[in-house]
Amino acid sequence: MFNSRQFWLFFMLFIPVYGLFAMWRRRTAMLVFVVLVSLFFYYKSSGLYVLLLVARALFDYYIVRIMDDNPNPRCRKALLLLSLISSVGVLAYFKYTNFFALNLSEIVGGNFQPLDIVLPVGISFYSFQSISYVVDVYKRRTKRAGSLLDYLFYLSFFPYVAAGPIVRAASFLSQIRRHKKITDKMVFSGLWLVMTGLVKKAVVADYLAQYNDLVFSMPAGYSGFECMMGVLGYSIQIFCDFSGYSDIAIGIARIMGFDLGINFRSPYKSLNVTEFWHRWHISLSTWLRDYVYIPLGGNRKGSLRTYINLMATMLIGGIWHGAGWNFVIWGGLHGSGLIAHKIYCSHYHGRNVSAKFLPWLLTFAFVTFLWIFFRAENLNGAMMILDNIFTDFRPDMVLPFVQTRIGWVAVCFLSLVAILVPVKFYSFLESEFIASRLWIKIIVFICVVQLVLEFSSSDISPFIYFQF
């Protein structure tokens, strides 16, 4: 929704009203207003599934109240299980029913026709938020929401409800009732994030996608080199698409005075897979760490159990992204990478790796290689791309490719350079923007909008993570 004109026209009307509530310190009125806006936006993207979101909020809120007030540990545990089963059950129904039924049908030789199940937007994200809230209150790691309104606000907040980041109740609920003075720095640093997000999404990701989509939709028509370029392009595309969305979501929340943390910390600068997962989709990786990996035993039960836990966590992370074997393989291969890195560290612990280029290249190549499974339409498509790359590379295609797709190559190369530029440089630009005069900000903003218009395809591409 953030890349549609309707959203921004609406946002221009939303901000004055929100600002008035903030100025008058009418916190409850502000909450009601934002909840209504959030539900309206959710309704616009998912129709009557908005009722599912409201039902989730009602169910969690009252279950947690009863659980929190109950001194009996068994009763508390039963209520926790009830909530978890309902969250995971609803998510599983919408996301995995056809997948499991289809596979079961193939095993038993049946003739299964997929059910007409539409995946509600953001269900994977808000289900995970709901689980984290219930578990955290159960474990007394956080206080329960002060009111149903607070919890509904937390679960449905429009900047993140559709595609994350997955915000924890512990860090967010406390911000809801706090009177925070909105400063210039807060608003314009939020706007800066929104602008960088729009450039990442509309200028880089959507432009690169034009070629990448061709390669992934009919890999048979491309040589190995072209397929490899498509894969490299997708690696940059998915980062710019998803981190762009996260930037916009975090930026809008910051403009409104809420801190959602950070979701990407230059993941493609990682020197190993473990570091990559500390930097990529941080809200999901920390969620998986805290609610899957550690409860399974983490690294406290010996090496073998650690590896099994890592693999199980990454498989869950893989299938969370989509109901398909390619996502399972993607998660499993990442799990293998993490295990391999752990084994390497246990054998070569303390060795100083002074040369950083090779580990960086290996990590980037590994992560990019695995995107093939993530993006391919099915397992056959992924295998066809791999087959082309390894058996029909055709280096003679390099020059004609560069000549005919010079614009794509330029955007790809510049994006890669931009991704590797030190964060300090962007922080410097951001602080300069915040400190600049208003008319300079207006010019910068107009330039960004014009850039987005120039690069935008007429058809607005949805954010990749909306499908999850």
Partner 1 sequence: MRPYIKLLILLFSAFIVMTVFSELSEVRLFGHKIVTMQSFLTHDTINDSVEFCDVDTTNDVIANDTLPRVLLFVGDSMVEGLSSRLGAYAYHNGHKLYTVIWYGSSTEKWAESGKLSMYIESYKPDYVFICLGGNELFVRNADERRKYVRSIVSEIDSLPFIWIGPPNWKDDTGINEVIRSEIGDKRFFLSKGMRFDRAADGMHPTEKSSCEWMDSVVCWMKRQMPHPKMEIPAEKVRKPYKTIVLTPDD
Helix (H) / strand (E) element for 232: namely: helix 224-255
Of the candidates 158, 173, 162, the residue with the CA atom closest to the CA atom of residue 255: 158
Of residues 89 and 400, the one with the C-beta less far from partner 1: 400
Query: What tokens were used for 397?
Result: 């295609």
**With binding defined as CB under 8 A, does residue 429 bind partner 1?**
no
On the 0-12 / 13-18 / 19+ scale of CB atoms within 10 A, 106 is exposed
Least distance in angstroms from the C-beta of 387 to partner 1:
16
User: Contacts with partner 1 in 361-390 (CB under 8 A)?
Assistant: 377
Question: x/- contact string, 4-33, with partner 1 (CB under 8 A)?
Answer: -x------x--xx-xxx-xx----------
In the complex with partner 1, which residue's Cβ is closer, 149 or 449? 449
Report the alpha-carbon distance of residue 378 to residue 187 in Å, rounded. Answer: 43
* Residue 118: DSSP 8-state: P
CB contact at 8 A, 45 and 162 = yes
Q: How far is CA 427 from CA 157, 193, 430, in A?
A: 27, 11, 5
End-to-end Cα distance, the chain: 15
Q: Is 90 in the site for partner 1 (CB under 8 A)?
A: no
Is position 456 an interface residue for partner 1 (rule: CB under 8 A)?
yes
Query: Torsion angle of alpha carbons 420, 213, 208, 461, nearest 10°?
Result: -110
Among 84, 102, 182, 418, binds partner 1 (CB under 8 A): 182
Site for partner 1 in 196-225 (CB under 8 A): 213-214, 217-218, 221-223
Which entry of 179, 278, 321, 347 is annotated as an active-site residue?
321
Least distance in angstroms from the C-beta of 213 to partner 1:
7
Q: Which is nearer to partner 1, 70 or 217 (CB)?
A: 217
User: Does residue 149 bind partner 1 (CB under 8 A)?
Assistant: no
Query: Among residues 255, 338, 367, 384, which is the contact residue for partner 1, using CB under 8 A?
Result: 255
Degrees to nearest 5, angle at CA 249 with 144 and 204? 150
Indicate if 341 belongs to the active site: no
Among 303, 407, 446, 467, binds partner 1 (CB under 8 A): 446
CB of 267 to partner 1, least distance (A): 28
Q: How far is the CB of 371 from partner 1 (least distance, A)?
A: 18
Radius of gyration over every alpha carbon of the chain, rounded to an integer in angstroms? 23
Least distance from C-beta 99 to partner 1, angstroms? Answer: 15
183 lies in the binding site for partner 1 (CB under 8 A): yes
Instruction: Choose among 185, 152, 176, 158: nearest CA to 11.
Output: 158
366: how many CB neighbours lie within 10 A of its CB?
18
Encode burial over 424-445: b for 16+ CB neighbours within 10 A, e otherwise.
eeeeeebeebbeeeeeebeebe
Q: Which residues contact 119 (CB under 8 A, 6 or more apart)?
A: 94, 95, 467
Nearest to partner 1 of 229, 367 (CB atom): 229
Cβ-based nearer residue to partner 1, 414 or 443: 443
441 binds partner 1 (CB under 8 A): yes
* 335 or 381: CB nearest partner 1: 381
Single out the segment in contact with partner 1 by CB under 8 A; choices: 111-119, 157-165, 181-189, 275-283.
181-189
* Position among 106, 396, 432, 454 found at the interface with partner 1 (CB under 8 A): 454
In angstroms, the CA 342 to CA 321 distance is 24
Catalytic residues: 321
Q: Using CB under 8 A as the criterion, which residues of the chain lie in contact with partner 1 when the complex forms?
A: 5, 12, 15-16, 18-20, 22-23, 182-184, 186-188, 191, 213-214, 217-218, 221-223, 226, 255, 377, 397, 400-401, 404, 438, 441-442, 445-446, 449-450, 453-454, 456-459
